[in-house]
Structure 1
C-alpha cells in the first residue's frame, strides 16, 4: 500500500511541487501582503470534512467547511466585525464544531483580548454562544480572558466539554464546569481553588490538574471525581527552581506528562510519578532545541514537536511514526509534517515548509489510496522563484555563538534589510515568510539574528537576554550586521532596520542610539516607552514580578530610571534618519499609543518621522486590508531611503 499511495501522490505533485525556473520577476507588494487563504484546518472525526478559518479579502474572518480532499469551501460562520479574530477550531463530534474567538477591550487601565466561545453545526445551524462569565469592575480580570478556556474535549462524551469559568460564588476565581455544547447548560465539575489558576484535563474526563499561580510560586493540584477534593501534588518557585509544566494526567498510572528543564538546559518531556514523587522516564530529549509541543490522541502522547531550522516532529506511537515516515518518503525535500488526522488515522493533512516558497496543505487518504494538493496558501506566490534563506552562525563581540538567517540570493551587492524578530522570547526560523521575501524580491538582502534571549535554544540562551533590552540583545543584532560586512555578504553601507513588536523596539532604539548607522528605520507595532507598556498591559502582581526579572526592575526608582533610559522615546531628539511607525489601533499587545507618543514627540521638533495608523489593526495586522496598506507603505519607504 505504501508504494501505491506514494505513486499516486507523486503523480499529483508533478505539476505543482517544483517552483518555476524562469527568471525571477519583481512582484507588487500586494502579492506578499495576503494572509494565508486558510488557517487551522482540522479533519472531522469520521474523516468526511475539513473545517478551517478562511481569511477573506475583507477584514472579517469566516469558518468554512470542505469535503475531505476537495476545495469546495462553504461558509458556516462569519465573525460579526473586523476586530474579532478566530483563535481555534475543534470538532466536538462529526456534526458540531467549537469556535474560540476573541476581541479587543480596554478596561481599568489595561488592554486585553476577551475570549468568546461558539458552538455550531457543520451546516451552520444551531449557532450557540457559550458565554464566559465576566468579572465585576472591581476585580483584576487579566488572567481570565485568554480567549480559549477549554479544559478537556471529553473524547468519550460527544455532547459535553469541560470549560474553565468564573463565578461570583467563588470570589471570581475560576472553577471547572461541564458544558453541554448544544444547550449551553452547565454544572460544576471541580470547585475553585480560590486562587488564580488554570486547568488541564485527562483522557477519561474524570480528573483535572490545576496550576495555581501566586506571585512566582507554581503549585499543582489534582482533582479526581471519585475523591471529590483537591490534592496538592507539587510546587516550585519560578526563576529560582527548575520547574515543570504539566501537559497531561495519566490516571491509570497516577503519572503526569510534563515539560521540564530539571534534567537539562533544553526543555524535555518526562513522565513523573505522583505515587513516588520521582522522574520515571524521559519521553523526548534533544541536545540542541527545546520541545515546542506535545501531541496527544485519545488521551495518549503520540509525539513531540520542536523547531530546528524548520519545524520538526518526532512521533512515538507506532501508527503515527509509520505515517510520518511514509509522508517524509513521499514529499522528499518539502519538509512535510502530519498536522491533523481523522479518528481512524487513515485520512491525513500534511503541511509542507520551504526556505524559498510558501507552505501548502496536502491530503492523504490511505484507505482509498488517494492524495494530492488540498490548498496552496499563497496563490500569488505559487511557482515563483525566490532565493532561499540560509542558516548562519557567528560570534558576538563578547564571544557568545549566535545563529540566524541570511537571504542574499548569492549577490553580495544587495543593500541590507535587518529584521530583528519579536518577542523577544521568540525566534526566527528558516521557513519562508512573505514580508522577508517582499524585500528580497525587491532586490534587498535580509538578515535575521536569533539574539540572546531568543527562545527554543535552551534556558541559558534565553536567560542571557533577561534585562538586556537595548544592551547585549541590541548589540547582538549590530554584531550580526558587522559579521555580514566582514564576510562581504551584502551592502551594509546601504541598509535599513525593519522590526515588528520587540523587533520594532530594536529598530527604534537603533534609530535613537545609532542614528546614522542605517539609512532608515521601520517599527511595526513597536515599543517606544517600556515603563508605559508594562503599566498598560501587565496589571497583575505576578506579571510585574516576571517583568522585573525578564525586562527590568520597575518597582524601584533606580529601576524605572534605567527602563526610561533604554526607552527610545527618551532619546527621540537624537533621531536623524527617516523613521516610519506602523501600528494597528486594535493592538492590545503593544497599544498604538506607543507609536503615537513617539511620533508626536519627534514631529514636534520637525524630526524625520512618519506614522501609519491602521483602523482596528491587531498586533499581527491579521486582516488583508491592513496588511496591504502596511506592506505597501513599508516597501515604498525603504525604497525611498535605500538607493
Structure 2
C-alpha cells in the first residue's frame, strides 16, 4: 500500500512540474548544436560543453563502450565555430572566436595527451578551413581573412597550405582578388573556382576558361561554397545552384564544357548546404532540404534503407551529420518542436542506437507546446510561410517573432523563446516574410525595394490572420525582432503606429543610409535589395521617423555589437516617447549568448509584455 501511495505521489508531482511556469534558467541553457564530430574510424565522439563550473570544455567519448567522456578544459575561446577530426583519429582541429569579434583562430588538440596547440596566431584574421583530405592527412588548406582593413583596400585572400605537423604555412594558390570559393578535389588539386565581379556576375571557371556565368540573385546564394565534391575522374563537380531555375537544385556540372545534369530539385523549396559526400568513391550519398520540416533525399540505396529502419526508433526530424569511413556508424541529430536537440550514434550493421547527449535535459520535465507549420495569404495574394505555436489554454495575447537577415528563415525546431512565451500564455507566430531564404529566388526577390511597404504588410497580414483564425484580441498583439527583424519592428511602430500594442527590438537597425554608401563586390546586391538613394533610404529608416512612434518600445543591445551600424542612435526614440526603454548587456555582442543573460533578458521581456499587453487598457 505504501509503495502504491509513493508512486501516486511521484506521478502527481511530475504532473505539477509539467503544468507550472518554466523558469528562465531552465529555458535557456548551454547549447551544443553544430559542434559535435564523429572520428573517421567511427569509434569516438567529440563535442563542446560547459562543465559544472561553467568553464568551456571539450569532451571525448568512446562510443558503445559505456566509458565516461574524457574532459579537456578549453579556455582559449568561447565561441566555437568548427570541430574537425584529423584522419589519425587522435587530433582535433578547432576554429574558435575568443571575444566574438570575428578574430577566429585555429587550434589543434591532441586527445591522447590532452594538449592544445595554436596553429595560426594572428590577432587580425578570420581563419577559415577550406579543404582537408584523407589522401594528405598532414595538410590543411585555409584562408586568412583580414578583419581590420579599409573596404577600398580589401582583397579576398590567397589559398594557403598548412602543414599540421611542422606548422609551416605557404601559398597553395594566389588569389587575384575575386575568387570567392575553391573547387578542391580529394588530392588537394584546384579543379575550378567561383568568382564574382562588381555587377554581381558569378562565374565558375576551370584553369583555362569560364564555363558558367549567372547573376547572384540572393545573398545566401554562394554565402558558403557551392562545391560539394568531385567525381573520381575530376571532370564533374556536384554543386548547389538555382542556375536557370527558381529554387536551388543539386546539379552535376561538367567542368570541361559547362553542361550540367539535374540530380535533385523541389519546385517550392531550396536545397540546403546539408549533404554527405563519399570523396573516396566520388559520389553524393544524400542531400537535405528544409520544406515545412527538414527532410533528406537519398542517392545511396543502402543508406536509405538503413535510414528507414532508424526512422522507426526516433521522433521528430532526423539529420545524418556524418558517416565514418566504413559507412558503418552515423552521427545523428534528432530535433523536434517540443524537445531540445539530441545526438545519437547509430551502427547500421547491428541496428544499435546510442544516445551521446541531450541538450537541456531539465526542460524535458515540463510540458511544452506544439509548433505547427502554417501559411496565410498576404493582401497581394502571395503565400507567406510561417509557424504557429499556441499555448495549452486560450491565448492571453500574441507575439509575432520577426527574424533577421533579412534573408534568414524560421524553422521547425525547438526554440526556447517561443516555448517560454507559449508557456506564459501567448500565441507565437514566426513569419517567413517575403525576402526569407529557402523558398526560391522569386520569394526572396519579392522583397527587393519593398522593405518599407510589402514586407511590413506581410507582418500586419499575419496579425490579421491571427485575429481572424484564432480569435486573438487585436489590441493584444506585439512584436519581437532581432537585427533586421529589429528594423522591421521599429518600422512597424513608426509607419503603422496603430497596428501593434508594443514591440521589442533586439540589436535592431534603425538607419539604412549606410547601405547607399557601400561599394565593392556585393554592394550592388545590397542596393538591389534595399535601394541606394539617400532620400529613399531615409524614408524607410525608422531613425528619421521616431517621432511617429506612440506605442511602448523596448530596445535591447549588446555592448560589443560589431554588426550593428555605429551611426544608429537611441536618442530619437528615447526623446519622443516616454514608454521607450533601452537596456544594454555588457560583454555581449550582436547576439545575447550567455545563458544567464538570456534568462535575464526573458524576465525583462516577460515583464514588458505583461505591463504593456496584458495589463494595458
TM-score tier, shorter chain, comes to: 0.7 to 0.9
Structure-2 residue corresponding to 1:269: 250
Q: Would you say 1:235 and 2:213 are equivalent positions?
A: yes
Distance 1:383 1:274 in 2: 54
Q: Deviations for 1:141-172, whole angstroms, at most 9, x for unmatched residues?
A: xxxx5x452221112222111223479xx996
RMSD of aligned alpha carbons: 3.0
SS of the equivalent of 1:611 reads strand
* Equivalent of 2:44 in 30, 45, 49: 49
TM-aligned CA distance change 1:197 to 1:23, over 3 Å: closer
Distance 2:333 2:176 in 1: 41
SS of the equivalent of 1:492 reads coil
Matches within 5 A, 1:109-128: 113-123=102-112, 125-128=114-117
Distance 1:534 1:325 in 2: 51
Q: Would you say 1:257 and 2:257 are equivalent positions?
A: no
Structure-1 residue corresponding to 2:9: none
Structure-2 residue corresponding to 1:548: 527
1:206 positional shift: 2.4
Deviates more, 1:60-69 or 1:398-407: 60-69
Q: Deviations for 1:308-350, whole angstroms, at most 9, x for unmatched residues?
A: 122111221234323322211222x432222223222222222
SS of the equivalent of 1:128 reads strand
Structure-2 residue corresponding to 1:179: 162
Q: Deviations for 1:580-637, whole angstroms, at most 9, x for unmatched residues?
A: 111112333325764xx12x22323453211221123132322223322222222222
Structure-2 residue corresponding to 1:36: 31
Distance 1:183 1:295 in 2: 31
* Equivalent of 1:292 in 248, 272, 278: 272
1:438 positional shift: 0.6
* Equivalent of 1:66 in 49, 57, 61: 61
Distance 1:195 1:357 in 2: 44
- Is the Cα–Cα contact under 8 Å of residues 391 and 406 in structure 1 kept in the other structure? yes
Name stretches of at least 5 consecutive residues in structure 1 with no aligned partner: 1-18, 106-111, 136-144, 224-229, 554-558
Distance 1:171 1:403 in 2: 38
- Is the Cα–Cα contact under 8 Å of residues 33 and 434 in structure 1 kept in the other structure? yes
* Equivalent of 1:424 in 401, 406, 421: 406
Distance 2:500 2:316 in 1: 36
Distance 2:52 2:498 in 1: 39
- Is the Cα–Cα contact under 8 Å of residues 24 and 384 in structure 1 kept in the other structure? yes
- Is the Cα–Cα contact under 8 Å of residues 101 and 116 in structure 1 kept in the other structure? yes
SS of the equivalent of 2:555 reads strand
1:60 positional shift: 6.5
* Equivalent of 2:469 in 475, 478, 487: 487
SS of the equivalent of 1:642 reads helix
Distance 2:29 2:612 in 1: 25
Distance 2:145 2:174 in 1: 10
1:508 positional shift: 1.2
Q: Would you say 1:634 and 2:605 are equivalent positions?
A: yes
1:57 positional shift: 7.6
Distance 2:429 2:154 in 1: 51
1:497 positional shift: 0.7
TM-aligned CA distance change 1:484 to 1:369, over 3 Å: closer
Structure-2 residue corresponding to 1:497: 479
Distance 1:213 1:319 in 2: 39
- Is the Cα–Cα contact under 8 Å of residues 27 and 420 in structure 2 kept in the other structure? yes
1:43 positional shift: 0.8
Distance 1:60 1:459 in 2: 43
- Is the Cα–Cα contact under 8 Å of residues 71 and 374 in structure 1 kept in the other structure? no
TM-aligned CA distance change 1:334 to 1:38, over 3 Å: closer
Distance 1:404 1:326 in 2: 31
Q: Deviations for 1:419-442, whole angstroms, at most 9, x for unmatched residues?
A: 112211121122221111110001
Distance 1:610 1:414 in 2: 23
1:523 positional shift: 0.8
Distance 2:214 2:424 in 1: 51
1:392 positional shift: 1.8
Distance 2:341 2:559 in 1: 30
Distance 2:505 2:526 in 1: 22
Distance 1:606 1:409 in 2: 32
* Equivalent of 1:218 in 198, 202, 217: 202
Count of matched residue pairs? 585
Matches within 5 A, 1:97-176: 97-102=92-97, 113-123=102-112, 125-131=114-120, 147-165=126-144, 174-176=157-159
- Is the Cα–Cα contact under 8 Å of residues 58 and 625 in structure 1 kept in the other structure? no
1:189 positional shift: 2.5
Deviates more, 1:608-617 or 1:333-342: 333-342
Tell which has more relative contact order, 1 or 2 (C-alpha 8 A, sep 6+). 1
1:351 positional shift: 1.7
TM-score between the two structures when normalised by the length of structure 1: 0.84
Structure-1 residue corresponding to 2:4: none
Name stretches of at least 5 consecutive residues in structure 2 with no aligned partner: 1-13, 147-152
Structure-2 residue corresponding to 1:590: 564
TM-aligned CA distance change 1:166 to 1:330, over 3 Å: closer
Deviates more, 1:296-305 or 1:573-582: 296-305
TM-aligned CA distance change 1:460 to 1:369, over 3 Å: closer
1:467 positional shift: 1.6
Matches within 5 A, 1:3-18: none
1:273 positional shift: 1.3
1:47 positional shift: 2.0
- Is the Cα–Cα contact under 8 Å of residues 293 and 411 in structure 2 kept in the other structure? yes
Structure-2 residue corresponding to 1:471: 453
Distance 1:542 1:194 in 2: 10
Structure-1 residue corresponding to 2:150: none
- Is the Cα–Cα contact under 8 Å of residues 419 and 447 in structure 1 kept in the other structure? yes
* Equivalent of 2:81 in 79, 87, 97: 87
Structure-2 residue corresponding to 1:327: 310
- Is the Cα–Cα contact under 8 Å of residues 203 and 300 in structure 1 kept in the other structure? no
TM-score between the two structures when normalised by the length of structure 2: 0.87
- Is the Cα–Cα contact under 8 Å of residues 26 and 442 in structure 1 kept in the other structure? yes
